[in-house]
């Protein structure tokens, strides 16, 4: 694993859920201020992620979080919406990166610096690991807040992912404005309830 000056790591959270935005983070770590315990956010407990996130924000040379909305996901498709969130996060950095490392096997177009896709980079590149943690904790906090605005769906528990409880709530209440209408489980419920309006609880 390596960290070079002004290397930006980028990762996303929320490609798979039926509801909520897809979120991306970009992080430029400071080689002089190591952060022990960085790894793929999915390998960490919620408590560990919540402990590491403020450390990353405090010690990084620059960081930013951005998203693409459910409407953008439906309009663009989830892959392109993820790339949009990534480019927004990179553009929001307070310092321009010299190199960009993106988790996965594909890159967004027109990035502002030389870039490289790194398969399983959230396990091998500390800057990508840090981005993974910031994206995940930011999105989870958003979904918990959305739970009070759109009660009944259980967003604070499943964060919009396709759990049995979410499927039951979706069948009972129908989609809300946070749902990704292009995703098959949501689309099928919406079509079945097409004779009535979408519930809007906020």
Tell the residue number behind the tokens 């930011």, with chain if given.
Answer: 138
Alpha helices, DSSP H, located in 26-149: 46-59, 70-76, 78-91, 121-124, 126-149
The answer on pLDDT for 3 being more than 90 is: no
Domain ranges of the chain: 7-146, 151-192
| pLDDT tens per residue across span 56-81 | 999 999 999 999 999 999 999 999 99
Angle at 22 between CA 19 and CA 25, to 5 degrees: 150
| pLDDT, position 197 | 53
The answer on pLDDT for 194 being more than 90 is: no
Within 10 angstroms of residue 144's Cβ, the number of other Cβ atoms is 13
| pLDDT, position 1 | 43
Tokens of 163: 């759990």
Average pLDDT over residues 152-173: 97
CATH no., domain 7-146: 3.30.420.10
Model confidence at 195, pLDDT cuts 50, 70, 90, reads low
């Amino acid at each position: 694993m390596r960290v070079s000056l002004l290397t930006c790591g980028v990762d996303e959270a929320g490609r798979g859920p039926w509801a909520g935005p897809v979120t991306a983070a970009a992080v430029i770590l400071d080689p002089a201020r190591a952060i022990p315990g960085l790894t793929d956010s999915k390998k960490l407990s919620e408590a560990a992620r919540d402990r590491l996130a403020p450390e990353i924000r405090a010690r990084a040379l620059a960081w930013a979080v951005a998203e693409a909305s459910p409407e953008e996901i439906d309009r663009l498709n989830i892959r392109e919406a993820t790339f949009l969130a990534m480019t927004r996060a990179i553009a929001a950095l307070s310092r321009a990166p010299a190199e960009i490392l993106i988790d996965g096997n594909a890159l967004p177009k027109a990035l502002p610096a030389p870039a490289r896709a790194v398969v399983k980079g959230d396990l091998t590149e500390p800057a990508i690991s840090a981005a993974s943690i910031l994206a995940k904790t930011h999105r989870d906090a958003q979904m918990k807040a959305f739970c009070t605005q759109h009660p009944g769906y259980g967003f604070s528990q499943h964060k919009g992912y396709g759990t049995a409880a979410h499927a039951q709530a979706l069948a009972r209440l129908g989609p809300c404005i946070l749902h990704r209408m292009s995703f098959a489980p949501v689309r099928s419920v919406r079509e079945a309830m097409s004779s009535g309006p979408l519930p809007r609880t906020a």
